[in-house]
Chain A
Amino acid sequence: MKPFAAQKSEHTPAIILDKENGRFEISGRSFMDEPMEFYAPVLAWLKDYALQPNPTTEFVFTLDYYNTETGKYIFDIMSILERIKGSKVTWRYAEKDQDMEESGLDYAELVNLPFEFKTF
């Protein structure tokens, strides 16, 4: 399966979706106005991946700033992961960044997935 990658910009995150190397990551900033355009291919890739996933899938989020509209697409990503056996979420955030920790807790409450919180 061909990897999906996006370079980060001032308001869009870096994305790596690489089945062969087992890397699934979103990092940086995400506050575009029309997140659907940006995240639609991400969701499509994941749905495809879900048909023949790896035995384990660790999806790592390391977001700095993201708007609430992006937040919905993060939930959509996690909803797909819920259906993939062996999935887990790693939510990374700066130490003492309570807002990002709280956002992670929102998702941990909403989805039925193993969640690991890691600070840096």
Chain B
Amino acid sequence: MTSRVLYSYSGIVEHVGIAELIEGISVVLNKNNITQHYHRKIIRIAIEALQNQARHGKWPTCTISDDPSSFILYEHDDSYTITTRNLINSRDIPNLAEKLQSINAASESEISDRIRIQLRDNSCIHTKGARLGLLDMKRKSGTKFTFTYKESTPFQSFFQLTITLPRSDQH
């Protein structure tokens, strides 16, 4: 199986910079003749992934130059993957892991139901803890998340999330 990096970014993800990153990804996808079908899906997943990083992945003591966050888009023979890496508070890990496992275990229709419930429920999305973005990425990719975390101190852990988008000749 062959794999290559289509796009990578290292450093702090700031909300104001996401449009620029998305434009960069789009340019790369166009240069590599990625079909419209996958182009749209990748961009939509990337938007949510980057916004998650901007929202949850900023470590207060990191400066622009030493923030270890990264975003990588890979192309494989049978899929595209987006992998994000960032520091998070260690105490948030159990809750996050549980949410990801729950989302992974849910069926397509359960995911759609959960999305609709969260769209309708004001309080969820406005607290930004809704994980609506994760549900959306799961639905758009159609596959389970893979994730790992490694505690570097009792207070911070390095978290990695991969979203896989299978490819088929149909598109």
Contact = CB atoms under 8 A, between A and B. Distances in A.
Given A109-B116, A110-B116, A31 B40 contact: no
Interface string A86-120: 00000000101101001000110110000000000
A33 B54 contact: yes
Contact of A68 (B22, B48, B54): B48
A97 B115 CA distance: 19
Given A10-B19, A110-B116, A110-B120, A31 B140 contact: no
A65 B44 contact: yes
Contacts of A48: none
Interface in B129-169: 130, 132-133, 135-136, 139-140
Interface string B108-123: 0000100110011010
A34 B140 CA distance: 23
A72 B51 contact: no
A32 B14 CA distance: 11
Contact of A106 (B36, B116, B130): B116
Contacts of B36: 94
Contacts, number: 68
B119 A71 contact: yes
A72 B126 contact: yes
Given A109-B116, A110-B116, A68 B133 contact: yes
A32 B16 CA distance: 8
B106 interface: no
A62 to B, nearest CB: 14
Interface string A65-83: 1011101100100000000
A33 B15 contact: yes
B43 interface: yes
A10 B119 contact: no
Contacts of A85: none
A106 B119 contact: yes
Given A31-B18, A106-B112, A72 B119 contact: yes
Interface string B66-83: 000000000000000000
11 contacts: A10-B19, A11-B19, A31-B19, A65-B22, A65-B43, A68-B48, A71-B132, A94-B40, A102-B112, A107-B119, A110-B116
Interface of A: 9-11, 31-33, 65, 67-69, 71-72, 75, 94, 96-97, 99, 102, 106-107, 109-110
Top 3 A-B residue pairs of the complex, sorted by shortest distance between their CB atoms: A33-B15, A10-B19, A11-B19
